[in-house]
Structure formats: structure tokens, C-alpha cells
Amino acid sequence: MKYELVSGLETHVELATATKIFCSCTTAFGGAPNTHCCPVCTGQPGALPVLNKRVVEFAIRAGLALHCKINTVTHLDRKNYCYPDLPKAYQISQFDKPLCEHGYVELESGKKIGITRIHIEEDAGKLVHDRGFTFVDYNRGGVPLIEIVSEPDISSPEEAREYVEKLQLIMRYLAVSDCKMQEGSMRCDVNISLRPEGADYLGARTEIKNMNSMSFIEKAMEYEYSRQAEILSSGGKVEQATMRYDEHTGETYVMRTKEDAQDYRYFPEPDLPTIIIPEEEVQKAQASLPELPLEKLKRYRDMLQLSDHTARQLYKYKAVCDFFESCINSGASARNSANLITGAIYSRFATEEQKEKFSLPFDAAQFAELVKLLDSGKINPTLAQMTLSKMLTNGGKVSDYISTEDVKGVDEGELEKLCREAIAANPQAVADFKAGKEKAISALYGYIKRATQGKADIRAADAIIKRLL
């Protein structure tokens, strides 16, 4: 029997506020263990929480960007469970009245993955297992989270990855989170069940906890699909459980039988008042939303006339988009700006994290000056790339590397003379070209580039060489 996969994700996103959700401790990542905490976030007797208004504002922005309805009257609840990373033995979260409900994320295929709810809550501490001991670091405890709960609309590991990637990009565009999965500021619980192909009911589900890698999400889902399918095919029943993915073996294993909502004994948080959000605050948040990723991608393709490939290389990184748009706002062409960014500049970055940060030793205005010289024909692409390479290595201004003589280029008479010299100096390349090996002509280009230190217009040289040959 064939089975279809049914999946929904619970995505935890740490918000980029300066302080924690209920106290004034810093949210900075790292630090010596238990140095970013206080009596409030460690649950000391008599310590009372005070809600950080910025948390609510960020959550509203996230909800609006995901097409959610905002509940303007809501409250916080206590979710009761006992675990060492939670010193109060309860987590302040939201249960029956989340801040945001009924949204969606649209995939490239046009399919919409429904968002059931987005609620605010505090993060737990972190357990560190070492040499047979378990240590608790409460620095992360009380860091504000939004939990984005999807509908069970995901039908494959590939859809799950695209959904998470789009969520990550939207949150970064909104500047509500850096969504660094490697630092735990974005992580997913993946719910999976199987049912016979064509059935309209849901099977027993398992939940794979704390996935912090796109590729691991895909691999874990593939393994869990195979595991459940094998159980069902042999006549067994899948038990509802909380699972862990072992990245070393590529397998999932049961941590504990799954709790239901009633096990958490939710009740309204007595130490915090009802949250009432004026409608004008929601309207103000809506008006302040930036251009979102899919809108930007469409504009880059349709209005700026970039290829789909180039547009996608840019829009994936907010810092890159900001730099690129500063360049074109300074008068540089979109095409040449994009080509130099995705070519020469990207070649210097080995990791995705470096592209996300996009730290350069010069500003957008200096880069735009270089691009405008290229746009006007005052320098050729070779000289532009050579200059950019020097700027990337040493920083500085365009004028540090391109002189008035460089801008003059090589006049037509001089260029023809150089082309004749190149032909005479490379008889074997000429013979190969005439024999049909078109790439052999690159030896002649190299001669001209060396002779002019990259100042010659190779496109013009190409026309002259082919005429002479």
C-alpha cells in the first residue's frame, strides 16, 4: 500500500529584542553560563514578570507579514511541566487566545501552507551534557519567542524545507529575528503522520523535536516516513511519541510518549494583565511592513529586468538587497551592479553566513562609482573586475585604483595595432581558431589584456581580431 505524508511544523523564532520578555536581562547570544539571568528569568520566589512591549510589536509584525488576523484582546497562560531547564516548573506562553491566527505562507508552486496560530512565550534554559554530568545554563531562559504553528498542509520534505526557508527570509526582512539556526534562534518541531494514499483522515503522529538545520529536517522526515511506512505495512500501529533525530546515524528514536494539551494544565497567568492592543497600533504596524521577499523577487525580475537566477541570488540576503538598492539609487545600473555582486563579491564569501552579513571594506556609494564607470563605457568589464578585486582586498576608493588615464581607455587605432601584435605573437592559437577551436581566441585576448593592464575593451578587440583573421 502507498502512504502519503502529512506534516505540520511548530517553528520557534527567538525575537531580536535587546532584553528578555519579562525582565531587563540581555538577550545577547553566548556569554559565560548563568551570567545573563536574574531572579525573574530564573523563577526566584517573589520575583514578578513585566511584559516587554517590543515583543508584542514584533509578533504583530510577523503575524501581519504572514497574513494573520491579530487578536487585539489576548492574554498569557501558564504551561505547566517540570524539567531542569525550566526553573519555575511552568512556562509563560499562550493557549486559548494566541496573538495571531489564520495566516499562510505561499510556496513557489502557489500552494499555501496554512498558519494556525502565532503566540508569544519565553524560551527555556539550556542543558549541557558533559562527562556524564548535566549542567544547566539559564542565559537563554526568558528570551522572547514566537511559536509559528502550521496546519498539516505539508506533503513532502522538500515542501517542509521551502516553508522553513520562506519563514526564515520573511522574519529577517522584518528584522524581528536573525533566525540563525546554528545558534538556536530558529528551530522546528516537525509533526509527521502517514495515511493511505487518497484517504481523508489523519494517522497517529510523531513529533521530531528541536530541528536546527534545513538539511536535517529533510533527512529526518525521510527517515521517519520510511519508519512509519514499515510499521503500517507490517500491520502495526504507529504510537504517538516525541522523537529525537540523531544526525550521526540519520535515524529518529523515541524520547517519550507524547503529551497532550491537557497534560500541561494551562491556566491564565495571574501575574500579568490582559493584553489590549489598540486597532491603530495594528494599522501602524501594517503600514510599516517592508517589501517582503516574494514581492522583491518579482520586482527584481519584472521591473529591473534581472534574470530569475540573478534575482534569486540577491533576494535571499537582506543585507545584500539593501546594498544593491543603495547602488541603483545612486545611479548605477541594476544589471552591472547585480553581476558584480553575484560574481566577484560572492566569490569572496565561502559561507551563507558571510553573505547574510555582507561585510565589505567599502560602502555602496564607492561601489556605485565603479559601476557607473562601467555603465558609461569609460572602463571595460575586465578593468572593473580587477579594480573591484583590489577594493575587496585593500578597501579604499575607486580613485585609488583607476586614474584619469585608465578612464580614457585605448583608442581604436592603438587597439587595432595591439590586435595585429596579438595575432603575430600567437600563431598556434590563430591556427587552432581557424581550424574550428573557438576557445583558442582567448590567448589573443590575454595578450591584449596584459599589454593594456586590462584597459582595453575586449568586446571591441574581439570584433577587430575576427575582422583581421
Residue ranges of E strands in 18-96? 69-70, 73-74, 77-80, 90-93
Extents of the domains making up the chain: 3-284, 291-407, 412-468
pLDDT value of residue 412: 76
d(CA 49, CA 40): 6
Least confidently predicted of 10-19, 240-249, 372-381: 372-381
The per-residue pLDDT for range 23-73, each reduced to its tens digit, is 999 999 989 999 999 999 999 999 999 999 999 999 999 999 999 999 999
Using the structure block, give the residue that is written with the C-alpha cell 509559528.
148
Categorize the per-residue pLDDT at 261 as very low, low, confident or very high, splitting at 50, 70 and 90: low
pLDDT value of residue 406: 63
Class for the domain spanning 412-468: mainly alpha
- Kindly state the average pLDDT of the residues 89-107: 96
Q: Is 370 helix (H, G, I), strand (E, B) or coil?
A: helix
The per-residue pLDDT for range 149-172, each reduced to its tens digit, is 999 999 999 999 999 999 999 999
d(CA 13, CA 55): 12
All 3 cell numbers of residue 309? 537566477
Q: Please count the other Cβ atoms lying within 10 Å of the Cβ belonging to residue 189.
A: 18
Confidence check: pLDDT of 175 > 60: yes
Alpha carbon dihedral 397, 398, 403, 404, in 10-degree steps, equals -110
Q: Which residues pair with 117 in a beta bridge?
A: 101, 149
All 3 cell numbers of residue 160? 517542509
Query: Could you write out the DSSP letters of every residue in 383-403?
Result: HHHHHHHHHHHH---GGGT--
In percent, the amount of the chain with pLDDT more than 90 equals 74
The per-residue pLDDT for range 104-141, each reduced to its tens digit, is 999 989 999 999 999 999 999 999 989 999 999 999 99
- Kindly state the average pLDDT of the residues 291-302: 95
Confidence check: pLDDT of 259 > 80: no
Categorize the per-residue pLDDT at 1 as very low, low, confident or very high, splitting at 50, 70 and 90: confident
Backbone angles phi, psi at 246, to 5 degrees: -95, 110
d(CA 451, CA 455): 9
User: Do 204 and 237 contact (CB within 8 A), yes or no?
Assistant: yes
pLDDT value of residue 278: 96
d(CA 106, CA 160): 12
* Residue with the larger pLDDT of the pair 305 and 414: 305
Categorize the per-residue pLDDT at 256 as very low, low, confident or very high, splitting at 50, 70 and 90: confident
Highest mean pLDDT among 92-101, 181-190, 254-263, 371-380: 92-101
pLDDT value of residue 260: 63
d(CA 147, CA 119): 5
pLDDT value of residue 409: 61
Using the structure block, give the residue that is written with the C-alpha cell 583581421.
468
Backbone angles phi, psi at 191, to 5 degrees: -95, 130
Confidence check: pLDDT of 408 > 60: no
Categorize the per-residue pLDDT at 93 as very low, low, confident or very high, splitting at 50, 70 and 90: very high
